[in-house]
Amino acid sequence: MTLDSGKSELVYQGRRAQRADSRQRRKAILEATLRLIVKEGIRGIRHRAVAREASVPLAATTYYFKDLNDLISDSFTYFVEQNIEHTRQLQADSVAVAGQLTPEQMASGAGRRQLTQQLTRFVLSHIRNQASNRDNRLVELAFRHEALRNEQLTRAMRMANQANESLIIEFFEMLQFSDPQAAAQIVHGTILNLEYQVLNGAIDMESPLLERTVTLMVRTLIPSRIEPLTTSTTTQPELT
């Protein structure tokens, strides 16, 4: 089973489940692993603890996952599968609002302001929704920290980041941005940082600073002049 997003692919490492009841049991084990991470962090993951949390026999966890690295890696892949839809929705909303503007509007200052306002609203909503789910953010941070010492998880984390960033890259490619990869790094990094700042209480969910930061990021990245979105256009917009 894989999670494919354009250029990146996340792959499950553990034993595959063929029957419906086996898939359900495997899913229960992965969900139990995520709950334990919220309660105790990655270091609390043990086959026996996961089996107890999932209400399955100990033999079930060792059957599907030969070691803890596979269990941790696959629980991360499952987590990404459940959560990447939020990034897809952000991309879809952004593409939709850009697509509603005519070539003339896209090339005008008024069109740029309209696009900036809408994108700012979408990103703010995304950050607030993500930060409001504290358990998911705790799980995400636990995986990120563990990836620094777990090579198998490092590879999975790298692919997950690429999967998210490829969605952002596609949007900037649509705008014919001169360096969509760098723009994706800025957007993805800023969103992750702001989610963390909201989570730890450094920035309030409704803080003007949150809105100012997102507004500045979007204004900086949206070109001062957006060329009509046609396949024949070759001129690259400049970064303001």
Domains of the chain as residue ranges with CATH: 2-221 (1.10.357.10)
From 39, 14, 58, 175, select the one nearest 107 (Cα to Cα): 175
* CA 126/CA 113 separation, integer angstroms: 20
User: What does the pLDDT read at residue 227?
Assistant: 52
Instruction: Give how far Cα 123 sits from Cα of 25, 48, 126, 175, 218, Å.
Output: 36, 41, 5, 17, 9
User: What does the pLDDT read at residue 222?
Assistant: 83
User: What does the pLDDT read at residue 204?
Assistant: 94
User: What does the pLDDT read at residue 224?
Assistant: 57
* CA 26/CA 38 separation, integer angstroms: 19
* CA 41/CA 143 separation, integer angstroms: 9
User: What does the pLDDT read at residue 225?
Assistant: 52
Question: For the chain, how long is the longest CA-to-CA vector?
Answer: 64
User: What does the pLDDT read at residue 1?
Assistant: 38
User: What does the pLDDT read at residue 203?
Assistant: 95
Per-residue pLDDT of the chain (240 residues; tens, 9 = 90+): 344 444 456 788 888 887 888 889 999 999 999 999 999 999 989 999 999 999 999 999 999 999 999 999 999 999 998 888 888 888 898 888 888 877 777 777 787 888 889 999 999 999 999 999 999 999 999 999 999 999 989 998 998 999 889 999 999 998 888 899 999 999 999 999 999 999 999 999 999 999 999 999 999 998 655 554 444 333 444 433
Q: Two tokens at 150? A: 């777990």
* CA 231/CA 180 separation, integer angstroms: 17
